[in-house]
């Protein structure tokens, strides 16, 4: 083996604590940043809550000074790749998204069986509760039994040593209880139990016949066969079908959610005097500043105050990092709103092709910076609260429109089609070509699949009145 010495040159970027903090603050969502600031206020005495002015919407003028002071640091973290390893959480995931039970109100179980038993415990005897728990353990999350009732009753008699009648009585109580349709043998029994809770009339009686005897015909949307089987007039049949469609196929209710389970917009945009204006939503975040009292006291202090000076430097880095984040978010959003004014004015079909590189070039930063600052951030518009990523759109190959706009056009054409003559994919492509948008039939099929819309032959729904003739 021959030993050798070789010289090699390499280039690397040393990440300072300030740089790491700037990157982390840049990709935090509004709830994450609020938590970060409150934790900083608790552990660092050099920071204080800025209560001088009421927090509200802040425009670009309020960030110019802070941006100029911090601009020299932008080039460093601007060129970094996506640093998922630099933060404990991903910039695209809000707190609580990994655990759906975190959004359920305190004291409410995520298991619907436990919630129901807690409700029944107020009125049911302990022996009946035990039988109810046995039935619920053999009920799927859809609310239907995971087997035939007769077989399950035989199993329960052998296991619990109770009469078959006692088990069936408890099942019927669950079936017709506060959650009607629960523990049903099939969809027909589930829907029939829900119908029993409604006032008795001719429409309910007709709906009972459909779910008991003609559920398969209803599922096939065979309107003519259903009308003939029922032997009733068309109007009565229509009312019975509408009543069935108003029922819940899954009798298990969703858990009660917290009142504050909603998206908090980071940016607000509104049209004033014919001009779209962008403002940061300052009401969502606490405003922090350096404590002037502590800073002045530290400047004249004697002795070893290195620990306090370290806290002061940390506080300055945090305030500067927040200013950089807010300025980058505001400038990015201003470019997005400027490029997508037609979308804000006219809707989804007017959304223009826009890429990360185009926005990055407009604000003088790297694509990775734009990606971080727009991930997990939301903007409140007159058209609703949207994720900033929604304002980006890929250009359709060979066209001057975006794929998102064409998808919206496809949906509009399908929504407006006559029920008895749905539009085929080739027909939709031809209609779009008349509007100057030339796409292939397979592209229409792809967008239709993404919209979860069935093919034309499956969308055809002849009316009962037309078939009865």
Which range (7-21, 177-191, 395-409) has the least confidence? 7-21
pTM > 0.75: yes or no: no
CATH domain 395-468 topology: Arc Repressor Mutant, subunit A (1.10.10)
The DSSP output letter for 440 is -
Token pair of 357, please? 């590189």
| Residue 71 pLDDT class (50, 70, 90 cuts) | very low
Which range (182-196, 241-255, 335-349, 364-378) has the least confidence? 241-255
| Residue 74 pLDDT class (50, 70, 90 cuts) | very low
| pLDDT at site 229 | 82
Instruction: Tell me what percent of the residues of the chain surpass a pLDDT of 90.
Output: 13
Which range (88-97, 213-222, 268-277) has the least confidence? 88-97
| pLDDT at site 173 | 93
Do residues 376 and 29 lie in contact, with contact meaning Cβ atoms separated by under 8 Å?
yes
φ, ψ of residue 334 to 5 degrees: the values are -60, -40
Tokens 């496809």 locate to 410
| pLDDT at site 118 | 86
Centroid of chain to Cα 115:
25
What is residue 280's three-state secondary structure?
Answer: strand
**Among candidates 366, 338, 357, which has minimal Cα distance to 79?**
366
How many residues can be counted in the chain? 469
| pLDDT at site 335 | 93
| Residue 102 pLDDT class (50, 70, 90 cuts) | very low
Q: Does position 98 have pLDDT exceeding 70, yes or no? A: no
Q: Does position 261 have pLDDT exceeding 60, yes or no? A: no
If you average pLDDT over residues 3-7, what whole number do you get? 67
| Residue 131 pLDDT class (50, 70, 90 cuts) | very high
Domain ranges (residues) in the chain: 17-93+266-387, 112-245, 395-468
If you average pLDDT over residues 40-66, what whole number do you get? 64
Centroid of chain to Cα 441:
31
| pLDDT at site 104 | 37
The pLDDT tens digits for 181-197 are: 999 988 889 999 999 98
- Residue 275's DSSP bridge partners are 272
DSSP string of 402-438, one letter each residue: BHHHHHHHHHHHHHTS-TTSPPPHHHHHHHHHHTT--
Q: Kindly report the average pLDDT of the chain as a whole number.
A: 77
- Whole-number Cα distances in Å, 2 to 6, 96, 241: 13, 58, 87
Q: Does position 106 have pLDDT exceeding 50, yes or no? A: no
Tokens 């949307």 locate to 221
Instruction: Tell me what percent of the residues of the chain surpass a pLDDT of 70.
Output: 75
Q: Does position 60 have pLDDT exceeding 70, yes or no? A: no
The pLDDT tens digits for 280-324 are: 887 766 788 888 877 777 776 666 777 888 888 888 888 888 888
């Amino acid at each position: 083996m021959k030993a050798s010495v070789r010289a090699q040159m390499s280039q690397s970027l040393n990440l300072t604590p300030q740089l790491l903090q700037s990157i982390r603050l840049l990709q935090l969502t509004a709830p994450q940043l609020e938590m970060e600031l409150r934790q900083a206020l608790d552990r660092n005495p050099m920071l204080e809550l800025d209560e001088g002015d009421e927090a509200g919407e802040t425009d670009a003028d309020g960030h110019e000074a802070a941006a100029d002071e911090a601009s020299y640091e932008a080039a460093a973290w601007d060129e970094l790749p996506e640093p998922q390893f630099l933060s404990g959480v991903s910039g695209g995931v809000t707190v609580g998204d990994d655990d759906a039970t975190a959004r359920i109100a305190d004291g409410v179980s995520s298991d619907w069986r436990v919630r129901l038993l807690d409700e029944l415990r107020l009125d049911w005897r302990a022996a009946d509760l035990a039988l109810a728990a046995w039935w619920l353990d053999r009920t799927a999350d859809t609310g239907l039994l995971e087997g035939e009732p007769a077989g399950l009753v035989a199993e329960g008699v052998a296991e619990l040593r109770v009469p078959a009648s006692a088990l069936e009585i408890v099942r019927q109580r669950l079936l017709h209880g506060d959650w009607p349709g629960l523990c049903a043998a099939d969809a027909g029994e589930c829907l029939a139990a829900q119908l029993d809770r409604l006032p008795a009339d001719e429409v309910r009686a007709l709906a009972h016949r459909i779910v008991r005897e003609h559920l398969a015909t209803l599922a096939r949307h065979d309107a003519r066969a259903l009308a003939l089987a029922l032997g009733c007039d068309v109007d009565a049949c229509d009312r019975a079908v509408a009543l069935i469609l108003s029922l819940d196929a899954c009798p298990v209710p969703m858990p009660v959610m917290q009142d504050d389970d909603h998206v908090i917009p980071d940016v607000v945009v509104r049209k004033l005097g014919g001009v779209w204006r962008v403002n940061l939503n300052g009401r969502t975040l606490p405003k922090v500043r350096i404590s002037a009292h502590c800073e002045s006291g530290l400047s004249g202090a004697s002795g070893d105050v290195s620990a306090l000076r370290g806290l002061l430097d940390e506080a300055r880095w945090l305030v500067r990092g927040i200013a950089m984040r807010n300025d980058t978010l505001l400038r990015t959003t201003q470019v997005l709103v400027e490029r997508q004014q037609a979308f804000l004015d006219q809707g989804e079909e007017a959304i223009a092709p826009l890429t990360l590189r185009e926005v990055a070039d407009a604000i003088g930063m790297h694509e990775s910076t734009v990606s971080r600052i727009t991930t997990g951030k939301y903007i409140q518009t007159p058209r609703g609260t949207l994720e900033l990523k929604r304002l980006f759109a890929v250009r359709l190959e060979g066209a001057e429109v975006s794929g998102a706009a064409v998808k919206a056009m496809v949906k509009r054409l399908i929504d407006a089609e006559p029920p008895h003559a749905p539009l085929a994919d080739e027909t939709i492509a031809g209609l779009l070509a008349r509007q100057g948008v030339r796409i292939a039939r397979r592209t229409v099929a792809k967008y239709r699949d993404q919209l979860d819309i069935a093919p034309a032959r499956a969308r055809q729904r002849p009316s009962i009145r037309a078939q009865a003739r």
